[in-house]
Structure 1
Amino acid sequence: MVKIEELKLDDGDDGFVTESDSSSVSDPSEADLADDRSSADSEDEELKRSLQMYRAEDETIADRIYALRDIIRPTTRESICQRWNSIWDKSTSTGRTLGNVAWVITTSIILVGLPMALSIEAESMLVSHEKEMERQRQGQNTLTTGTTPIGDANQPPPAFS
């Protein structure tokens, strides 16, 4: 089990060489080391200020998830990114290909199928119209053949007189 402890920095003597101490150092390499220590002090001060300004309520879920990236080693993260990019590229190219195929099919249906469907519908309407005309002729023939005219052909029937 991991135990987490918060380390507190005290403002007292931290064992670093200050700028006044670095002036008394005669070795140039020690002077460079002292400058590095003073820059570390300024970084510590900056860290203290940022920790004082930090509020856990202001941290978002995205910030927390982004911070979890340090758990995974950089080489593993790189291989995961490469795999993800490979899968993304393949799925994108597959999607484009399927989109192009769908476009060709729908365009073909519109250009060939629609006029064909309209002509089939027009042909069926023409056939049904011809059948209706044939039924009307048959109905007239049965009406005219079943009655015999009485009197003159120019004379109207008795119901109209």
Structure 2
Amino acid sequence: MVQLTEVADEHFQQAQPGPEEDEDFTDTDSEISEESDYDPESETLTDRLYALRDVISPTTRGYISAKVGAVSSAVGTALSFGGKTLWVVGSSALLLGVPWALAWAEEQQVIEMEKEMKMREMGSEMLTAGGEQSGSATAAQVGAALGQDAKPAL
């Protein structure tokens, strides 16, 4: 049969030094030391925030760090994708849109020139027709071209 024997550790048998036995002990919670080199004016906001890291538990800090990392990664990916998309759209607009716009403007100029030529032909026909007929016939042609009855100015 197995017999259990309790063995006492020597380390726990010795007396542990406490506040009464330690000569260098000072109660810093109840006294403000005048010898401190702490200067609150030289402390920055970053130093203060860094000192607060111990207030939050390590598991919570890890969770927050993981979430911040995931969000920053997602934002970086979105910005990268957006920049590449803008590059493709911008270069496509320059390579395809500018020549199309120039061709369209040229086509509009041709259309305007054709209208102007038709108006000149109509005007020259009216002037040549006016020489052969009386002035009232020319006024009738001008009125017909405008789509209304022409009346004398007097």
Paired position in structure 2 for 1:84:
68
Offset at residue 15 of structure 1 (A): 3.0
Offset at residue 57 of structure 1 (A): 2.1
Unmatched tracts of structure 2, length 5 or more: 1-20, 26-32, 133-154
Say which SS state the counterpart of residue 82 (structure 2) adopts.
helix
Letter in 2 for 1:88: S
Residue-pair matches, total: 106
Offset at residue 86 of structure 1 (A): 1.6
Render the CA deviation track for 1:112-136: whole Å, top value 9, x for unaligned. 1111111011101111011101101
Runs of 4+ in 1 over 6 A off after TM superposition: none
Q: State the TM-score, normalizing by the size of structure 1.
A: 0.57
2:128 aligns with one of 132, 141, 144: 144
Paired position in structure 2 for 1:63:
47
Unmatched tracts of structure 1, length 5 or more: 1-13, 17-36, 41-47, 149-161
CA distance in 1, matches of 2:90, 2:107: 24
Paired position in structure 1 for 2:3:
none
Structure showing greater relative contact order (alpha-carbon pairs closer than 8 Å, 6 or more residues apart): 1
RMSD: 2.5
Give % identity: 33
CA distance in 2, matches of 1:68, 1:138: 90
Q: State the TM-score, normalizing by the size of structure 2.
A: 0.59
CA distance in 1, matches of 2:36, 2:50: 21
Render the CA deviation track for 1:40-90: whole Å, top value 9, x for unaligned. 9xxxxxxx79x6332222222222222111100122212211221122112
